[in-house]
Amino acid sequence: MIERYTRPEMGAVWTLENRFQKMLDVEIAVAETQAELGIIPREAAAKIRAKSAFDVARINEIEKTTRHDVIAFVSNVAENVGSQGRYLHFGLTSSDVIDTAMSLMVRDAGRLLLKTLTALETALRKRSVEFADVLSAGRTHGMHAEPTSFGMKLAGFWSETARNRERLVRALAQMEIGKLSGAVGTYSTQTHLVEEGVCQRLKLQPERLATQVIPRDRHAEILWALSMIGAGLERLAVEMRHLQRTEVGEVVEGFSKGQKGSSAMPHKKNPISSENVTGAARMLRAYAGAAMEDIALWHERDISHSSVERVIFPDAFILCDYATDRMVKLIEGLEINRERMRANMDLSQGQLFSSHLLLALVEKGLSREDAYAHVQRLSHRMKPGSQLRDEALRDKEVGLLLTEEEVDDIFEGSRHREAIHSALERAGVIAPSAARIAKSLPKSVSGTQKRGPQTTRRKATQKAK
Instruction: Select the more confidently predicted residue: 267 or 327.
Output: 327
Instruction: Select the more confidently predicted residue: 445 or 100.
Output: 100
pLDDT surpasses 50 at 123: yes
Mean pLDDT of the residues in the chain: 91
Per-residue confidence (pLDDT) for residue 259, from 0 to 100: 72
How far apart (Å, rounded) are the C-alpha atoms in residues 88 and 44? 9
How far apart (Å, rounded) are the C-alpha atoms in residues 317 and 14? 9
Say which range, 120-134, 149-163, 212-226, 369-383, has the weakest mean pLDDT. 369-383
Per-residue confidence (pLDDT) for residue 262, from 0 to 100: 61
Concerning whether 262 is annotated as a catalytic residue, the answer is yes
Per-residue confidence (pLDDT) for residue 445, from 0 to 100: 45
pLDDT over 70 for what percent of the chain? 90
Instruction: Select the more confidently predicted residue: 449 or 119.
Output: 119
Closest CA to 360 of 351, 372, 352: 372
What is the average per-residue pLDDT within 44-71? 96
List, by residue range, all CATH 1.20.200.10 domains of the chain.
3-256+268-336
CA distances from 338 to 137, 267, 291 (A): 11, 22, 44
What is the average per-residue pLDDT within 13-27? 98
Per-residue confidence (pLDDT) for residue 303, from 0 to 100: 92
List, by residue range, all CATH 1.10.40.30 domains of the chain.
352-464
pLDDT band at 382 (very low <50, low <70, confident <90, very high): confident
Tens digit of pLDDT for each residue in 322-353?
999 999 999 999 999 999 999 999 999 999 99
Superfamily of domain 3-256+268-336: Fumarase/aspartase (Central domain) (1.20.200.10)
> Which residue among the candidates 188, 192, 262, 433 is catalytic per the annotation?
262
What is the average per-residue pLDDT within 211-219? 95
Measured in residues, the chain has a length of: 465
What is the average per-residue pLDDT within 55-69? 96
How far apart (Å, rounded) are the C-alpha atoms in residues 424 and 285? 31
Concerning whether 141 is annotated as a catalytic residue, the answer is yes
Tens digit of pLDDT for each residue in 403-439?
999 999 999 988 999 999 999 999 999 988 655 555 5
Asked if 122 contacts 331 with a C-beta cutoff of 8 angstroms, the reply is: no
Tens digit of pLDDT for each residue in 270-319?
888 999 999 999 999 999 999 999 999 999 999 999 999 999 999 999 99
Written out in words, the top-level CATH class of the domain with range 352-464 is mainly alpha
Instruction: Select the more confidently predicted residue: 134 or 256.
Output: 134
pLDDT band at 260 (very low <50, low <70, confident <90, very high): low
What pTM does this model have?
0.88
pLDDT surpasses 50 at 113: yes
pLDDT surpasses 50 at 459: no
pLDDT surpasses 90 at 440: no
